[in-house]
Amino acid sequence: MAESYRQLSFVRLDVGVVNFIVDPKSGFNDSTLYETLNHYCDPDYLQQHAVDVRLCGGRGQTMLFTLGPKEIGALYGPVRDFALEAAKAEGSSQPLQTSFPLCLRFYRRGGLIGKVLKRGFARWSATARRARAEFELTYQLYAEGFPVPRPLLAREGIDGLFVTNALVMEQLPQTQNLAEILEQRSLAPEEIVTVAQTLARFFKAGVYHSDLNIRNILLKTTAEGAQCYLIDFDKCSRGKLSQGRIEQMLARLERSFNKERELKEYDDSKLNVPAIMTLVRAQVKAAVKNIPQGRWHQVLTWWTALQSKLSALRARGTGSKR
């Protein structure tokens, strides 16, 4: 398996141990300065040096921004001489990329404990390494050609008993999530089919998405048709899926459609959830085959068979007494 990331570690008196997880194709190495890497996870620096900066997401945890050639540094590989590349590319049909839309996400806590510990996760908890886990899974999917954003850098700060996490990845330009599209128009049947086929591709690869909702599914309209992307792989995993787990994800997606319908007061002409989910489930069922039923389904099947045998034995016993 190809290398999914490299780690560069620093010890800082003010923040403890800081691990940076980087794309193995980046130009960063053991001689890279802490400040060079930390710039990408520093909102104050980005507010001053990036353009098109905006905050979104729950609790302001996501920052969208665009960097130019000077600020991008070695994030994509060895530092590039854009002036030289522009001169070589003059007259070429392929434009030189000189702006880099990126996304910085901090992992924040919710609920009552989030009011005290906004970003800190206990070192011994299963969620302490969320940025690393999401980076590794998303990078693996990206390397295999799945329609996901490209992760570029993660920051893992270890200070005493707590760990803080941040992740930098590419934006997906010219895309809208399903909720944004519904604000403008209804989803076309071919778009729903595209979404279903994309989900089926992930399911067949054993990808479990813990928060499959309409804001984590993006569409991009091209001359060839709609393209679908899946984002936000926090607390997701990859392994063997059961039909029950797939239905669990589809049920979550259905709830998000229904919630949006209720919130925006859409009627059936705008958002017919049963029709959409019937089409999605049919497409997934046709594409994802030979998937085990799952443990609980097997237990239920065993219990039903046992009850049938017991009933047959009781009936036989009653007949012999007669």
What is the full DSSP assignment across 88-110?
HHTT-SSPPP--EEEEEEE----
Instruction: Identify the pLDDT of residue 116.
Output: 47
Q: For the CA atoms of the chain, what is the radius of gyration?
A: 24
Residue 298 C-alpha from the chain's centroid: 30
Are the beta carbons of 21 and 153 closer than 8 angstroms?
yes
Residues of the chain with CATH 1.10.510.10: 176-295
Which residues are identified as catalytic? Answer: 211
Instruction: From first to last of the 322 residues of the chain, give the pLDDT tens digit.
Output: 457 789 999 999 888 999 999 999 999 999 999 999 999 999 999 999 999 999 986 544 899 999 999 899 999 998 888 877 877 777 777 788 889 999 999 997 654 444 445 567 777 777 789 999 999 999 999 999 999 999 999 999 998 888 999 999 999 999 999 999 999 999 999 999 999 999 999 999 999 999 999 999 999 988 888 999 999 999 999 999 999 999 999 999 999 999 999 999 999 999 999 999 999 999 999 999 877 765 655 554 555 556 656 665 655 555 555 4
Q: What is the pLDDT of residue 213?
A: 97
Which amino acid, 55?
A: L
CATH number assigned to the domain covering 176-295 = 1.10.510.10
Where does residue 132 fall: left (phi above 0), alpha (psi -120 to 50 degrees), or beta otherwise?
A: alpha
Give the separation between CA 274 and CA 298, rounded to whole angstroms: 28
What CA dihedral angle connects 115, 116, 121 and 126, to 10 degrees? -60
Note the pLDDT of residue 95. 80
Q: How far apart are CA 208 and CA 275, in angstroms?
A: 24
Nearest alpha carbon to residue 149 among 232, 249, 53, 40: 232
Instruction: Please give the pLDDT value at position 79.
Output: 85
